[in-house]
Chains A and B, each alone.
Chain A
């Protein structure tokens, strides 16, 4: 066990944990966050995605010791029901979910990508999303929502 500090969505926390504990377990269990989700535990589906230093990472295979002191942003941290992020707004506009379990990974992966590539083409967006799974296959709407958010983010700048 060791004490590891994290900043999550702007709030500082410290945890006395086995340093090999995956970040996802701490976010879900200790911080009771609903955004990041356990899909596979193998980094294969994207459901657990969070953003660290602008990078979308898979928190289910990221041990706590690898993110000691880091600033973590989760889906909860980019917008709220009252004040959603443009990506969240676009997903609502497009009704781009079915069960909604994958939405965390889709939005967080898209956010990290669009932040770095605000003028990405639709093919580039699709390429960037190629490691994310949705088993309800809401692909069409999700990609449309991401393209819409890219346009909205561009307008906002």
Chain B
């Protein structure tokens, strides 16, 4: 049998995506090159230079479509259909649907008339990485895709004005037509106006954006266009990319951390079926065969002699290692310089330490990529979150010019950050380069978990509060320790992920620095600054709280494992500690946790979500723990937590109601009440999907997930040794209050919920039982240990 590349299943996400303008699989650029140029003269060209570029995340590089040029974003076909090009990709979060809505809204065309092409270095602008809850802020506010669509609409109005002989201000754009306001019979379609040609103008920062109050496409629950293909098995994931003559590769990873190749015995796989080829580059080892099963057999049989490993810090004592290891890289986020004095003078000082483990992205599907490296050119089908950065780093890995590397995004299994997507792209690239043929690589489950992804950060966090005689907080001190190694590979650091490192490239250097320099500008990107402090840096207080005596100091050390930005990186860990600690201080003051928070908040958007969640939960104002709780058997309680995500990129509060079995230590989350403010809501259904998923993923991370290891290697290698909550677990009722802010800029929404689950649940456990649990995950053993401490104190 010779499987052929399949025909496009849904016209949207296939190896060759038909352009709306041509209906055929030709490249947009070659099509346009032969089409002649249409020049639209703008009234104020001098101001165009500033649009987009300065705020652009991407580094561009050879061949990157200019972000200032409208044609980089929007093309209109002779049939009037719109093709939009974006550097923010669909990874399951629903952003492609929202971006189609955005273009349809600003361009005044029906949703169904927009075809969205995302993340292909031959066709789409460089918008860096799809990450960090940045897709909405980047493309929906007044720049990039949103501004491009508005610029196109205004250009079409100008063209229509010339064609119809009517001033542009007397025309209206609607349903893909320009028509006269006074006489609807005077009209012309977009297709006829543009005829498939280029706009050849720049983004216009003065282009008028549609106010959210006038939205007809945005703000609706537009359905995801990929859903029918997904549920019928027609959708093509990267796992389903099939190229003619494609071979199958498997990698052979070291048995223990730090082991290096001593020798590879190629004769050990000689004569195995499938024309097995062995590939070695430094400590990168892999095999290629005709069929995937043959490649797996060969990888299992290949005899590789490895050196001894470097050993790992003791898992049981790791948090102590984390806070004492040297050297460190120290960073101060805020420092009012009076914290030590306030702590010394306080009538009471409260102190608590919180612990957060390494966790996995743990994608459902192990990562996969298909590479075709022939001579000095490469085409990579990759589930990476950043096609342009990976083009640069893959070029370095392969020794090719970046302009000769073509990276095409194909959806992988949900990644939530830096799963093994980039590493497996490098695996496929190296194997294809050696084989001189297209090679598909899918990792094994063990290689995905132990030798594929960059783990979410382990953290130790100390919180200290100085209280006055009435129990008021007069100073807050936050100090954290976490370990880092590698990161996303970016444009030039292939060694930031495992494959690049094995192939001989160094991860970004660890730059030790102690003591920390004084902060120069306020940034709370990591949520290292608690919501309740003023955030006073350089004379202006940009934080969300009122406490003016404040210090936030973070220490990084070098990690024994590769680390990366797992959903809500640092933000979740810091928020867990701060929000639990706020609860501890409130309990000490015998204050209601909601009222106590509100006393220290000054930002109205944080205040509104706290109030919104409390109202939804029918919150009973009283101190924790619950005075009605029994000391044995089942206990119930509720807890609250809130966040200004990254300081100002989304606002959320959550009330969790839990039941704790005090005999077994088992925690069940019964109900969740969640209030969210992400600015104007582009798609309420998509937003709720993100909130529901983030909440439950947050529960899984709070209750069961933790990477484990022995003296030499990671021991979390499958779904039995790395636990996740399955479809059958007792799912809480989730009630959501979506606060719509049509007058505000768009913020991120994919990480607000997950950031506060652990704190809300931890606070609810305290409310139920009086036991404070300060270490994630909240396993029954840890809950029981916390309960026994409470009893021994009582």
- Which residues of A line the B interface, CB within 8 A? 1, 15, 17-18, 21-22, 25, 28-42, 44-45, 47, 74-76, 79-81, 84, 87-88, 91-92, 95, 97-104, 106-107, 126-143
Which of A79, A99, A138 has the most B CB atoms < 10 Å from its CB? A99
Number of A-B contacts defined by CB within 8 Å: 204
Q: Which residues does chain A contribute within 8 Å of B92, judged by CB atoms?
A: 97-100, 136
Q: Which residues does chain A contribute within 8 Å of B232, judged by CB atoms?
A: 35, 75-76, 79-81, 84, 88
Distance, CA A22 to CA B364, complexed state (A): 19
Q: Describe A's contact surface by its main secondary structure.
A: loop
Which of A44, A74, A95 is within 8 Å of B233, CB to CB?
Answer: A74
The answer to whether A95 and B227 touch across the interface, beta carbons within 8 angstroms, is yes
Q: Which residues does chain A contribute within 8 Å of B9, judged by CB atoms?
A: 34
Q: Which residues does chain A contribute within 8 Å of B233, judged by CB atoms?
A: 33-36, 74-76, 104
The answer to whether A135 and B727 touch across the interface, beta carbons within 8 angstroms, is no
Distance, CA A97 to CA B693, complexed state (A): 10
Which of B412, B689, B695, B700 has the most A CB atoms < 10 Å from its CB? B689
The answer to whether B727 and A106 touch across the interface, beta carbons within 8 angstroms, is yes
The answer to whether A95 and B224 touch across the interface, beta carbons within 8 angstroms, is yes
The answer to whether A40 and B445 touch (CB under 8 A), given A130-B726, A136-B414, is: yes
18 extra A-B contacts, CB within 8 A, seeds A34-B236, A97-B92, A134-B727: A15-B1, A31-B3, A34-B235, A39-B413, A80-B234, A81-B234, A92-B227, A95-B223, A98-B693, A99-B364, A103-B231, A126-B728, A130-B728, A133-B724, A135-B724, A137-B694, A138-B692, A143-B727
Which of B230, B695, B730 is within 8 Å of A97, CB to CB?
Answer: B230
**Chain B 215-236: CB-based contact to A (< 8 A → 1; otherwise 0):** 0000000011011111111111
Which of B3, B364, B416, B692 is within 8 Å of A140, CB to CB?
Answer: B692
Distance, CA A142 to CA B692, complexed state (A): 12
Distance, CA A47 to CA B697, complexed state (A): 18
Number of B residues near A (Cβ < 8 Å) is 69
Q: Which residues does chain A contribute within 8 Å of B414, judged by CB atoms?
A: 98-99, 101, 135-136
| Shortest distance from the beta carbon of A14 to any chain B beta carbon, whole Å | 9
Which of A45, A100, A104 has the most B CB atoms < 10 Å from its CB? A100
The answer to whether B700 and A95 touch across the interface, beta carbons within 8 angstroms, is no
The answer to whether B696 and A41 touch across the interface, beta carbons within 8 angstroms, is no
The answer to whether A135 and B685 touch across the interface, beta carbons within 8 angstroms, is no
List, sorted by A's number, 24 A–B pairs whose CB atoms are closer than 8 Å: A18-B293, A18-B294, A30-B1, A32-B240, A42-B719, A75-B232, A75-B233, A80-B232, A80-B234, A88-B231, A91-B227, A92-B223, A95-B227, A97-B224, A101-B412, A126-B730, A128-B728, A130-B729, A135-B363, A136-B697, A137-B696, A139-B729, A139-B731, A141-B689
- Which residues of B line the A interface, CB within 8 A? 1, 3-4, 6, 9-10, 91-94, 223-224, 226-237, 239-240, 242, 248, 273, 291-294, 362-366, 411-416, 442, 444-445, 685-686, 689, 692-697, 700, 718-720, 724-731, 734
Q: Which residues does chain B contribute within 8 Å of A100, judged by CB atoms?
A: 92, 226-227, 230-231, 235, 411
Q: Which residues does chain B contribute within 8 Å of A131, judged by CB atoms?
A: 726, 728
The answer to whether A34 and B240 touch across the interface, beta carbons within 8 angstroms, is yes
Which of B93, B231, B364 is within 8 Å of A47, CB to CB?
Answer: B364
| Shortest distance from the beta carbon of A81 to any chain B beta carbon, whole Å | 5
| Shortest distance from the beta carbon of A143 to any chain B beta carbon, whole Å | 7
B223: nearest chain-A partner, CB-CB: A95
